[in-house]
Structure 1
Amino acid sequence: MKKSIIKVLLLLGLVLSGCASPISIKSSNLMSGYKESKVDLIDISSQGDKFLSRKNEILDFSLKLFLESFEAENILLSPLSIVYALAMTGNGAKNQTLLEIEAVLNSDIQGLNDYLKAYSEYLPTSQKYQVSLANSIWFKDDPKLVIENSFLQINKDYYDASIYKSAFDNTTKVDINNWVKAKTNNLITELLKQAPSPQTIMYLINALSFEAEWEKIYRVDQVIQGDFFLETGGSQSVEFMTSSESIYLENDLATGVIKPYKDSKYALVAFLPKDNLSIQKLLLSLDYQMVLDLFENKQEAEVLFQLPKMSIEYSTLLNEPLQNLGISDAFEASQADFSRLGKFEGENIFISQIVHKTKLVVDEKGSKAGAVTAVVMDTTSVIIDRKEVILNRPFVYMIIDLQQELPLFMGVLMSLN
């Protein structure tokens, strides 16, 4: 059987400043042909079992993929971005291909559509922080390719996807890079280094942009020089931002901090392995139940917190981790069934690559020193209950939506080089 390629590209821009740029695109915009239909939104603020289960399912997938992708070096994933892109793609899958995607994502595809649509509408924004999701579908202008209107319509209805038809030449490369640049606030400027290959017939892209600031910008005297100790031995001289925090996490394996951004809609969460415990051993026990238990049993205490300034760029292919988790047919030219997406005359459509790019910058402006929930106690009690979380060796970190308890992204910092 001949083969044709669908590429799924997952984009994430994590930014602390900047404004969106206008998009210059020459590809045919088919938005006018697909008006968004009215979709009844579910109430994700509800605490019913159905909604709690959906959040837990996404958190479970997020941690499994994270652990499958970790290779003892810096890693930075956006689980939420990945879920959005896979769900969009899943709307074109059928039979065993669809069943595998649903099994790995822990959800039927319509349930995901409902939840992710509601989550997109729920996203809180203000002048103090901004989180935005953008989706697009690009397909080749070829008479042999027939795209199912129902596939485009459902992705328009539930994911507000922009839809473009293009010659898939160098102009397409420029257009996609311009779209990515605009949707990541100029943080990621080049996704495609060359024009699409002759076999490539579609790109599905999700971009997630996060911009936030700390409640109080760090003063010059709160930034100190120190050593970051590597698991392989040796150390690196880095700048640490020092603050007093008030939400402390601890279990038998780790200590940690929840450090909210302005208005406490989102937070940075950091887990530091306890002494003599490697980051690998901590990760082996890091499942969604452990994370939920840590959140459930958080303590109010005075915490001396030191966070290294960091700028992380990460790029990876997710094919192998997702195959290891159970999505196999989608990557097989002879097995993939994307017949709900469309068809290409004489050939079969399958996924060739799932590309994930991320960038994160954390500095004085994008940090928060907050004791807004500090417990009132006498001087002696404060001294006894004082905790320390000094991130001067490899640690796990997340940026989470505090209301939904969902990770927008998660990473491990092994080195600051």
Structure 2
Amino acid sequence: MKYKSITILVLISLMMTHLGPLHAQHKGSSKSLNQYAFDLYGELKDENENVFLSPLSTYYALLLAYEGSKNKTKAAFEKVLYLKDSTRYIYDDLYKQESNSDSLFGLKISNAVWVDKKFEVESAFKNTVSSKYSSDFKQTEFANAELAVTDINRWVSDKTNQRITNMVTPSDINSETKLMISNAVYFKGEWLTKFEKLRTAESTFFTDNENQYKVDFMNITENLNYFENESFQFITKPYKDSDLSFCVLLPKTLYGLEAIENNLNAEFFNEILEQTVSTKVWLSIPKIKLETSYKLKPALTNMGLNSVFNNEAEFSGILKNEPLTIEQVAHKTYIDITEDYTEAAAATTTIVYIRGLPSYKTFKADHPFVFFIVDNKTNAMVFMGRYVKPQEGKVIDKANFVDNLLKRNNKKLDWGGNDKILILIAERKKFKPIDIQDVNFNNIEYLKVYKKEDVKKFTTEDYYGVVVLKLKKNKKIKKK
């Protein structure tokens, strides 16, 4: 019996500008999704390479295929997707927001089943995926590869606001292609508290011992949910009008990402989220722009879905009299994280920046890290990524590597990635160097910032700038 192939297309486009809430309620469903997410991430990650994917999007596409599977094929899906213990919650809650996605501010989730005009999909399958996932059913002529490509790519482009325009090519379709399943997620999320453009500064990103880059870092001091232990720091930064947050897991050592990744699983991740507390944090993260494209067949095969890609596959719930196999699962992603440019007054920027210094946690993501976008209510992972190599950074000459590392290790006060800042306190017309951590900023009467060209007024040493402050009457710095 000759088997026909299913190609599953998984598409995602992401820009951080606007977002609406998700309405999931059960953490049982998120545990299944998150464990699948970490399994897939483990298969895709490669040393010194970026990763960006949507576990939610790929999960959706595989669930559509699962609905038409039978017997051993169905069991394989249940194992890989961790469905047995939480299927009801997944259907009832985690994906219910899909049917309302058009009304969610900035979030659009779209599914489509593409069927060759010669075939009729089983009515039970059609009804199931329509009711649970609001999936469109589209007909095309796969024998005419150019026409099928045009139809599918137009749908993709419309659903992703023209961010992904060439998802498939004629080479992705052959004479045996009779059905495709696609899922597209388009997301724009505005920060609850925006980064200010005037605080963005170029600094060094340390990829590994052989690669350093100059990239733009966005900087802000704000109260964030924060957790740290001896191995890593973790923050969550919320979006406006949303139940989602952007999370970063940052190793404390420059090249400690692999050790952290080896421990990643759903239980570990939930424990971190539950231990975060609101803390004042100076956050410095690079502007991120990534485009990735994956063929997921090898990864999913290693995870246990090998039978769906060969003649053992049973998809009689989709096309009753036409044996089907999954030919490929394609996943294409785009992400752009910026300050969401806002107007800021230069006169107040420096002062606000300094006032956050005395009692804050420093979180500078200047080396490889993992990031997530998570539903706050359920801990469900909508997106996840690995940032290790800037795609738009300037490569630093290796002759400067050692000097950059020494500067990083010697800094007491990191300000936008530049060299040390000299802090002076004015006392009786004299200036005395102090440690910024010894100052209570509520006791300051005034402060003045001097730029690099004015440093020579105070010292012959090489400082990036000088901050002079004066305490209120009868106020003193802390005693050691």
TM range (shorter): 0.7 to 0.9
- Give the match for residue 309 of structure 1: 287
Alignment CA distance shift 1:276-1:185 (3 Å): closer
* Partner Cα separation in structure 1 for residue 206 and residue 95 of structure 2: 43
- Give the match for residue 334 of structure 2: 359
SS at match of 1:230: strand
* Partner Cα separation in structure 2 for residue 122 and residue 406 of structure 1: 18
- Give the match for residue 335 of structure 1: 312
- In the alignment, is the contact (CA less than 8 A) between 1:242 and 1:306 conserved in 2? yes
Correspondent of 1:299 among 271, 277, 282: 277
| Residues 1:389 and 2:363 are matched in the alignment | yes
TM-score w.r.t. length of structure 1: 0.83
* Partner Cα separation in structure 2 for residue 177 and residue 71 of structure 1: 29
Q: What is the aligned-residue identity percentage?
A: 27
Aligned residues: 370
Correspondent of 1:282 among 260, 268, 271: 260
Q: How does 1:9-408 map to 2 (within 5 A)?
A: 9-16=9-16, 44-45=24-25, 51-72=26-47, 73-108=49-84, 111=88, 112-121=90-99, 129-142=105-118, 145-168=119-142, 169=144, 170-194=146-170, 196-246=173-223, 247-275=225-253, 277-332=255-310, 334-343=311-320, 348-365=323-340, 385-408=359-382
Counterpart code for 1:64: D
- In the alignment, is the contact (CA less than 8 A) between 1:92 and 1:341 conserved in 2? yes
Counterpart code for 1:210: F
* Partner Cα separation in structure 2 for residue 164 and residue 113 of structure 1: 23
| Deviations, residues 160-208 of structure 1 (Å, cap 9, x unaligned) | 1110111122222111111100100110011112262111111100111
Superposed displacement of residue 344, structure 1: 5.0
* Partner Cα separation in structure 1 for residue 326 and residue 109 of structure 2: 23
Superposed displacement of residue 11, structure 1: 0.8
- In the alignment, is the contact (CA less than 8 A) between 1:229 and 1:235 conserved in 2? yes
- In the alignment, is the contact (CA less than 8 A) between 2:255 and 2:368 conserved in 1? no
* Partner Cα separation in structure 2 for residue 277 and residue 415 of structure 1: 13
Structure 1 or 2, whichever has the larger Rg, is 2
* Partner Cα separation in structure 2 for residue 388 and residue 339 of structure 1: 56
- In the alignment, is the contact (CA less than 8 A) between 2:157 and 2:163 conserved in 1? yes
SS at match of 1:179: helix
Alignment CA distance shift 1:365-1:229 (3 Å): same
What are structure 2's unaligned runs of at least 5 residues? 345-353, 392-480
Counterpart code for 1:251: N
- In the alignment, is the contact (CA less than 8 A) between 1:214 and 1:366 conserved in 2? no
* Partner Cα separation in structure 2 for residue 162 and residue 174 of structure 1: 17
| Deviations, residues 238-265 of structure 1 (Å, cap 9, x unaligned) | 0000001322121332102111111352
Query: More deviation in 318-327 or 172-181?
Result: 318-327
Query: More deviation in 245-254 or 397-406?
Result: 245-254
- In the alignment, is the contact (CA less than 8 A) between 2:53 and 2:384 conserved in 1? yes
- In the alignment, is the contact (CA less than 8 A) between 1:16 and 1:366 conserved in 2? no
Query: More deviation in 240-249 or 201-210?
Result: 240-249
| Deviations, residues 356-384 of structure 1 (Å, cap 9, x unaligned) | 110000111189x9xxxxxxxxx99x867
Q: CA RMSD in A?
A: 2.5
Counterpart code for 2:160: T
SS at match of 1:150: helix
Superposed displacement of residue 221, structure 1: 1.9
TM-score w.r.t. length of structure 2: 0.72
- In the alignment, is the contact (CA less than 8 A) between 1:146 and 1:343 conserved in 2? no
SS at match of 1:103: helix
What are structure 1's unaligned runs of at least 5 residues? 19-42, 46-50, 370-378
